[in-house]
Amino acid sequence: MAKNVKNRKLTIFISTLYCSLFFSSSLFAFQKGSTEDFLGHEVGITYHTAEQAVSSKEYLPVYPEEGTPEFEADKIAYLHGYNLKGTERWQQAIQDADLHIANVAKIFSQSLGITISPETTPTLYKMFGDLLVDSADNATKTAKEFYMRKRPFVYFGNHSCQPIEEEDRLRQNGSFPSGHTAYGWTLALVLAQIAPSHAETIIKRGYEFGQSRVICGAHWQTDVNAGRIVGAVEYSKLQTIAKFQEDLRKASEEINQQYSLLK
């Protein structure tokens, strides 16, 4: 009997310890401020929350309504992009649609002339993930959720340059402003700040990154134009954040180290 009581006490102790470890680790993994990127990956605490972002709904102009000359221009821009289907530029739009950090790092590595990776530029690579959350999601959130604009590929009843399963997600997400564009423009401005000697090629690629969304059929031209405004506002917001400034300094050192190796 005494042995059974002792075994029960031991079982209760182990169970209690297990539960304690489980809940404490869960709380750590999903601590306040922890968030996910566009692809649903847990990335931890970024530079700011959605609530701390400058509200895009409050400063963006309203997108053009159907029947206006501006909306007709949006439709013409869409049709121009759709006619590029199968071309080299269409293939670039497909590449730009992929927001996996390894892919985006590869895209901007070409503009920088060095390799952005977890091994060569760990701080900068992590910044790519944090900025995806802050610029593409947090900074666009209020306008996207308020307007819930229908995307062009849905309006025209065509497919975009993205996979069918991705189109299903896009249908549930507002078109105005473009999160892809906000992200690409923020990255371009940050990278041009880090590597001013390559600013022209970086900014050009950042511009193309946004235009790819029109060619892809995922966004109207006015969505992309608004996305660039959001990206610029986000870039300005980041300049006021001490953690960003610290990471920017480290990333600059990493880039300069890579350039020195090329010499």
- pLDDT tens for 152-181 read 999 999 999 988 888 888 998 999 999 999
pLDDT of 43: 61
Quick one: pLDDT band at residue 50, thresholds 50, 70, 90?
Answer: very high
Asked whether residue 2 carries a pLDDT value surpassing 70, the answer given is no
Residue 118, token pair as written in the block:
């977890």
Separation between Cα atoms, residue 151 and residue 176, nearest integer Å: 8
223 labelled catalytic = yes
Express each pLDDT in 5-40 by its tens digit: 444 443 433 333 333 333 233 222 222 444 545 555
Q: Angle at the Cα of 77 (from 190 to 223), degrees rounded to 5?
A: 45
Q: Where are the alpha helices (DSSP H) in 113-241?
A: 122-131, 141-147, 152-156, 164-171, 179-194, 199-216, 221-238
State the catalytic residue, choosing from 180, 198, 205, 228.
180
Mean pLDDT of 140-147: 97
Instruction: Spot the catalytic one: 137, 219, 228, 247.
Output: 219
pLDDT at 41: 53
Question: What value does the CA radius of gyration of the chain take, rounded to a whole number of Å?
Answer: 22
pLDDT of residue 112: 95
**pTM for this model (two decimals):** 0.84
Report the amino acid identity of residue 102.
A
CA distance 231 to 139: 8
Q: Which of 149, 151, 213, 228 is catalytic?
A: 213
Asked if pLDDT for residue 48 goes beyond 90, the answer is yes
Q: Which residue, 97, 215, 222, 95, is CA-closest to 153?
A: 215
Q: Is-catalytic flag, 41?
A: no
pLDDT in tens, 73-123: 999 999 999 999 999 999 999 999 999 999 999 999 999 999 999 999 999
User: From CA 48, how far away is CA 75, in angstroms rounded?
Assistant: 35
| 169 belongs to the catalytic site | no
159 included as an active-site residue: no
AA identity, residue 230: V
pLDDT digits (tens, 9 = 90+) for 239-253: 999 999 999 999 999
